[in-house]
Amino acid sequence: MPITTSLPIPPDVRLRPAARDDVGQILCFIRELAEYEKLAHEAVADEATLAAQLFGERPAAEVLIAEVDGQPAGFALFFHNFSTFLGQRGLYLEDLFVRPPFRGLGLGKRLMVHLARLAVERDCGRFEWSVLDWNEPAIRFYRSLGALGLEEWTVQRVTGAALRALAANREE
């Protein structure tokens, strides 16, 4: 009598660059990420703005979409920055998000590996990102990939009224 086992069928995972038609889905990912990060009140982007910024004449960033069995499962939004110390551009990951039902399939790692390869192909001197200090699962994940936390650096940000006030400053 033959022995039969029922092994789960591995999902069909595909990573692909986003296209203009994906703007609605990208916005959904952004809103889901903002909700997870307890920052939904700060997610004010809309489809028109994203379309112009991501797919306009001078795209400000790129997006990689992960699909599982044809369903949108996660994304990575990234852009280039520049290191004066290295004299090279770098790859900066602004957002990485995998929807809860698709976690545990290795999508986050696949997205990160893809971006690391892209950084190497593009002759980037570094690949970096920020992570909220309370997000221990993400920090553990990034450490497992070989990332180092830069504890001596802190992010500084000027937005909204403070940004406009700084721009209006006449002490130039």
| Antiparallel, parallel or unpaired: β 62-68 and 71-83 | antiparallel
Neighbours of 82 (CB within 10 A): 12
Annotated catalytic residue 142: yes
| Antiparallel, parallel or unpaired: β 127-129 and 88-98 | parallel
Any residues with CB less than 8 A from the CB of 11 and at least 6 apart, and which? Answer: 68, 69, 105
- Set 11, 142, 147, 150: catalytic member: 142
Neighbours of 133 (CB within 10 A): 8
| Antiparallel, parallel or unpaired: β 71-83 and 88-98 | antiparallel
Among all residues, which ones are annotated catalytic?
A: 142
